[in-house]
Chain A
Amino acid sequence: MIMIRFLLSLFRPFRWFIERTGADYNQFIHILELKLTMDNRRARGSRNKSTTPDNSIAKQSFAQIVMGFVFAMMGIIIKSEFTYFYMMHTILMFMMAMLIISEFTTILFDTSENTIIQPLPIKGSTQSLARNAHVFLYLALIAFNISVASIIIAAIKFGILSGLIFIVSILLNVLFTLFLANMLYLGIMHIVSGEQLKNVMMYFQIVIAILFMAGYQLGFNLIDKSQISNMTIGVSWYTFLIPPAIFSGLIEALSTGIFDLKHLLFIAEALIIPVVAMFITTRYLTPVFNRKLLNLEQGDRATKVKTSSGKTSLYFNIISKLFVKNNDEKAAFQLAWRMSGYERLFKQSFFPSLAYVLIMVAVQFFKRDINLSEIASSSRYLILLYSFILVSLTLSSSLMLGNNRQIDWLFKILPINSPADYFKGFIKAVFVRFFVPFYVLLSIGIVAFWGMRVIPDIIVAWLVIYMSTLLIFYMQQPIFPFSQAKASSQGGKNFVKVMGLIITAFLLGGLHYLVSKWNIYGLAALMVIYSTAIVLINKKLAYRLINWEKVDDFNTYN
């Protein structure tokens, strides 16, 4: 609450300005207070309603400050002032863009209070201003949290004045980013609408997430770190078009007192562009945006209704016969198969994680000088194959994600002897639908490069991944699929799991390598062992791990 009061008090000096735009100041503050209170209580990933977080803003802020500290550490070696601020502003813009994209429903597309505010006598301009102020506050808070460390370092390295101007430039940067975000979303909304928009956004988010990981992995692994400290960024004509450069130019000019033509241009740009951007945003973009947003809310029903025939594909029919034996399991298998094709949160979570593994492996492969013939004769494909054991973790957790809260009653009301049948069907469906085709493609690539001799290895590795997926899924909390809002914020626990899996992958991969060197029939023996284990896990262990008593502990059936 103190946090919110503080944030609201920041608007008091601008009362005259707010009233000049035609908005009602008191209403404006109260809408903003409502939005911030809702933000503060938004349970991020927590499933229990009883544990409503009351300080999620403060908690998030802390995490962001820590993250900012890491970024600042990377910049600490940079000698050139212009380059330092250039880097910091770039990181800032990138982080804000990431947040806007990943949480667009809660930031830009937040219509939750529309039903409350719309019937009240509030002017459109007040509401628009409150919306913009909310997004601005949100972004500014994030920007400052991330920059706390880099501001301090800047003040120490380049003087207090630089630090202070940096703060101002961050505010200008936020204004400009807000404008860019508005433009971006208006552009996308112009092309597509309704349900389709949400799908486009989903794939957009997936691509961005993958690009981010790729950029991070490749960027930081490939750059020679000793070069950064002496890195300077030259000023060409196009530098004046790069926002981070503009803001760094402003800081450099004001802190060093150099006012040549180049720097005057930077100053002019840095001051004029954000102000003009803000003017365009509030005057022209927001009204259009709000109108589109209302359409989006109501348009879902008006636009073409999505249909599906309820029939199943040939691939499904073949595969389901292969993987699923009993009838209850088959119904669950079909349910998860269908749902996973529709559920955005699932795809949003699973696809990037798959790409992530791929990128990590690619980086490992191409780190140093590439010697193709050497690689082809090595057993490095084992690293490639076993890396995908990580999928067992991400697939299991992604399967829980979705907006179907309180769906648990459905499963409890049906006459099912053991809930394990449900869960067996669920995990098999997504594994077969999403991982197997990917693995087949990967295998084709591997066979093309290493030759037919690696086929037994591919089969063994597949068995290991399937086994570990089943094990992890059966051991996790038995929550029904597509019913959890967001990945549980059990960051630490998850890290331990990932590390454990990586170690397991190393051990099993090592075993695989040794066995294959030791005897030609070794791999056949492994196949038999793993297949038996899989059968035992499915036939015995699953029923022991998942029973109604345990399921009832995690579900409330309300």
Chain B
Amino acid sequence: MIIVANQENIIVKNVYICTPKNNINITFKHVEMNTESIVEIKNLVKKYGTKQVLHGINLDIQPGQIIGYIGPNGAGKSTTVKILCGLIDEFEGDVSVFGKDLRMNQLEIKKRIGYIPENAALYESLTPLEFMQFVGQMRGIQNDIILSKAEALMNIFEMKSNLNQRIATFSKGMRQKVMICSALLHNPELIFMDEPLSGLDANSVIMVKEMLTHLAREGKTVFYSSHLMDVVEKISDRIILIDQGSVIADGSFEDLSRLSNDENLEKLFTRLTGNTNHGEKAEAFINAFEK
């Protein structure tokens, strides 16, 4: 690793080092301690027609961690998650989950992962219980276990009384809770979350954060994709920053901030993505509506 005395330069080097051409990952000590990777991504490239969304992502994820996968809108976060969950089959590069090639072992991998999408559709006219019954049965869980688990999970979110009401009448946050519960029904080892806190109220956000920490303590791995920096910096063991389809920084929050001297992730992120003229933009914004 190249360490340059000048702080500004470090960032520049980091950005440079991680471009796909070089394929060198910055890894930090605590990450290197684990040996077996649960997710391994090599040179992941995804194109939609001629538009390239992912420009060679390289990642190694160890079990029992909360990974914060963050980046601005349109950086390729959701695309990465969808590929890992098997929603998108067409991609270039090698991806293995649980040490197995994703392309060849989709079914087995799907059995052991949970996916909480952002704003995804649910069958509106079903009740949460009916919805979870379907998901659970499809995953081969027995009916009475589904029932007790659904009750327990919904109870945590204080939604037990809504268990038999139609989802159509729920608010955004309530739907998100149903989504979280049904994704955790089969006790997955690896959980992918795409903006899981969107629409949740303050209490539920705290609850989910607590839940994530608990899950990680139990040895589960959480891959958490978000653009909300403050949540990520508080709960993640490791933070991966991506921008325009490339990883631009990777490490624990302490590592990242030690290198850059930024007091929070938002500032660090701003500098890495090269958007430092927020002040000017804000001013332009004010000018625009004062006309």
Is A bound to B?
yes
Give A contacts to B, CB under 8 Å.
300-301, 305-310, 327-328, 330-332, 334-335, 338-339, 342-343, 403-407, 409-410, 412-417, 482, 548, 552, 557
Q: Are B139 and A415 in contact (CB under 8 A)?
A: yes
User: Given A413-B110, A417-B107, A557-B88, do A334 and B123 touch, yes or no (CB 8 Å)?
Assistant: no
B23 at the interface (CB under 8 A from A): no
**Within the complex, what minimum Cβ distance (angstroms) separates B212 from chain A?**
20
B-side contacts of A305, CB under 8 Å: 165-166, 169
B202 at the interface (CB under 8 A from A): no
B173 at the interface (CB under 8 A from A): no
Binds A, one of B2-10, B124-132, B227-235, B270-278: B124-132
B286 at the interface (CB under 8 A from A): no
User: Given A405-B121, A407-B121, A414-B110, do A308 and B89 touch, yes or no (CB 8 Å)?
Assistant: no
Please give me the residue from chain A that is nearest to B134 by CB atom: A335
Of A300, A338, A412, A552, the contact of B126 (CB 8 Å cutoff)? A338
Q: Are A407 and B123 in contact (CB under 8 A)?
A: yes
Please give me the residue from chain A that is nearest to B170 by CB atom: A301
Interface centre among A335, A404, A405 (most CB of B within 10 A): A335
B-side contacts of A414, CB under 8 Å: 110, 135, 138-139
Please give me the residue from chain B that is nearest to A483 by CB atom: B121
B111 at the interface (CB under 8 A from A): yes
Complex-state Cα separation, A327 to B140, whole angstroms: 8
Complex-state Cα separation, A331 to B87, whole angstroms: 21
Q: Are B125 and A343 in contact (CB under 8 A)?
A: yes
User: Given A305-B166, A306-B166, A331-B138, do A412 and B86 touch, yes or no (CB 8 Å)?
Assistant: yes
Please give me the residue from chain A that is nearest to B137 by CB atom: A331
Q: Are A338 and B85 in contact (CB under 8 A)?
A: no
**Within the complex, what minimum Cβ distance (angstroms) separates B47 from chain A?**
16
Q: Are A310 and B121 in contact (CB under 8 A)?
A: no
Q: Are A557 and B82 in contact (CB under 8 A)?
A: yes
A-side contacts of B86, CB under 8 Å: 412-413
11 sample A-B contacts, Cβ–Cβ < 8 Å, listed by A number: A305-B166, A306-B169, A307-B127, A310-B164, A331-B137, A335-B134, A339-B126, A403-B124, A413-B115, A417-B107, A548-B89
Please give me the residue from chain B that is nearest to A417 by CB atom: B107
Interface string of B167-204 (1 = CB under 8 A from A): 01100000000000000000000000000000000000
Complex-state Cα separation, A416 to B161, whole angstroms: 31
Q: Are B120 and A406 in contact (CB under 8 A)?
A: yes
A-side contacts of B120, CB under 8 Å: 406, 409-410
Complex-state Cα separation, A405 to B119, whole angstroms: 12
**Besides the known contacts A309-B164, A331-B138, 16 further A-B residue pairs in the complex with CB atoms under 8 A apart:** A308-B130, A308-B164, A310-B129, A331-B134, A331-B137, A342-B166, A404-B123, A407-B123, A409-B117, A414-B135, A414-B139, A415-B110, A415-B111, A417-B107, A482-B123, A557-B87
Q: Are B121 and A406 in contact (CB under 8 A)?
A: yes
Q: Are A413 and B130 in contact (CB under 8 A)?
A: no
**Within the complex, what minimum Cβ distance (angstroms) separates B29 from chain A?**
35
Please give me the residue from chain A that is nearest to B171 by CB atom: A301
Q: Are B138 and A416 in contact (CB under 8 A)?
A: yes
Complex-state Cα separation, A343 to B82, whole angstroms: 29
B-side contacts of A339, CB under 8 Å: 123, 125-126
User: Given A300-B169, A308-B164, A309-B164, do A412 and B123 touch, yes or no (CB 8 Å)?
Assistant: no
A-side contacts of B85, CB under 8 Å: 413
Complex-state Cα separation, A557 to B89, whole angstroms: 11
**Within the complex, what minimum Cβ distance (angstroms) separates B120 from chain A?**
5
Complex-state Cα separation, A301 to B166, whole angstroms: 11
Complex-state Cα separation, A300 to B171, whole angstroms: 12
* Chain A to chain B: the 7 pairs with minimum beta-carbon distance, closest first: A331-B137, A342-B125, A415-B110, A310-B129, A415-B111, A307-B164, A557-B87
Complex-state Cα separation, A57 to B166, whole angstroms: 36
Q: Are B107 and A415 in contact (CB under 8 A)?
A: yes
B-side contacts of A548, CB under 8 Å: 89
A-side contacts of B140, CB under 8 Å: 327
Complex-state Cα separation, A242 to B144, whole angstroms: 63
B133 at the interface (CB under 8 A from A): yes
Q: Are B165 and A306 in contact (CB under 8 A)?
A: yes
Please give me the residue from chain B that is nearest to A413 by CB atom: B115
Complex-state Cα separation, A310 to B108, whole angstroms: 29
Complex-state Cα separation, A404 to B87, whole angstroms: 18
